[in-house]
Amino acid sequence: MSRDAERKAVVLLSGGLDSATVLALARRQGYACHALSLDYGQRHRAELEAARRVAQALGAVEHKVIALDLGAIGGSALTDPAIAVPEQPTRGIPPTYVPARNTVFLSLALGWAEVLGARDLFVGVNAVDYSGYPDCRPEYIAAFERLCKLATRVGVEGEDFTVHAPLIDMSKADIVRTGTGLGVDYGLTVSCYAADAQGRACGRCDACRLRARGFAEAGLPDPTHYQPDGGAGTTQQA
């Protein structure tokens, strides 16, 4: 099938394990994927370079990076250096929650989709290993899909958008197995909340623990590049 004949989709691509898997799934389903990353003031900026690598490796039609400063409102360990990234599990919603992040990101994806003539949005949220984030739940995705119809010219004129969250009920191990089967090179990705400038993982934050456990439970080698003192992975690489 030619790219002209493929259905268009906007895929939110952070550069991490989950979003890379979603991009591979969307491509396998025959979508011409327009990858969207957000430079939102995150401390782990190495994920943006990872997103570029992943978009290229997995055949995205284009990769757009939009800059916005969520650090201006703060409230998250991912955007405010004064808030420590926790190295132990926390109860309730963790300090790494970024206020309204998925709503902002999906809104930008929706706007771009309307311009492109795309009717499908893909996002890598997960309700199993989701760290307590309220905007990763199935009811949130369903509500945002309803908003798409109410808030756009396309929706008012009678067309629908679909928000795909293919990982929402999957364990991290299932996600790793799925992506591996689709040929995803997870060594290109960065998931760590405290990654250094080279994209090497800390091995201690919640994202690192979930990722390492996923590879271990999937029975697959962990290709994550760790900082010299990182401790989560079973096969650490400097």
Q: Does residue 222 sit within a domain?
A: no
Structural domain count of the chain: 1
Closest CA to 188 of 56, 44, 41, 25: 56
Q: Does residue 209 sit within a domain?
A: no
Residue 38 DSSP code: E
The torsion angle over the Cα atoms of residues 139, 78, 75 and 136, rounded to 10 degrees, is: 0
The confidence score (pLDDT) of residue 152 equals 97
What 3-state class would DSSP assign to 73? coil
Predicted model pTM = 0.92
DSSP character string of 68-81: --GGGT--STTT-T
For residue 17, give both structure tokens.
């394990």
The confidence score (pLDDT) of residue 113 equals 98
Q: Does residue 213 sit within a domain?
A: no
Whose tokens are 């004129």? That residue is 157
Q: Does residue 192 sit within a domain?
A: no
* Confidence grade of residue 129 (pLDDT, cut at 50, 70, 90): low
For residue 67, give both structure tokens.
């800059």
The mean-pLDDT minimum among 55-59, 172-176, 186-190, 205-209 falls in: 205-209
List pLDDT tens digits, range 141-157: 999 999 999 999 999 99
The confidence score (pLDDT) of residue 88 equals 79
Q: Does residue 152 sit within a domain?
A: yes
We report the CATH number of the domain holding residue 44 as: 3.40.50.620
Range of the domain at 29: 7-186
From CA 117, how far away is CA 194, in angstroms rounded? 37
Distance of alpha carbon 107 from its chain centroid, rounded? 15
Q: Does residue 139 sit within a domain?
A: yes
Q: Does residue 2 sit within a domain?
A: no
Q: Does residue 220 sit within a domain?
A: no
236, pLDDT greater than 70: no
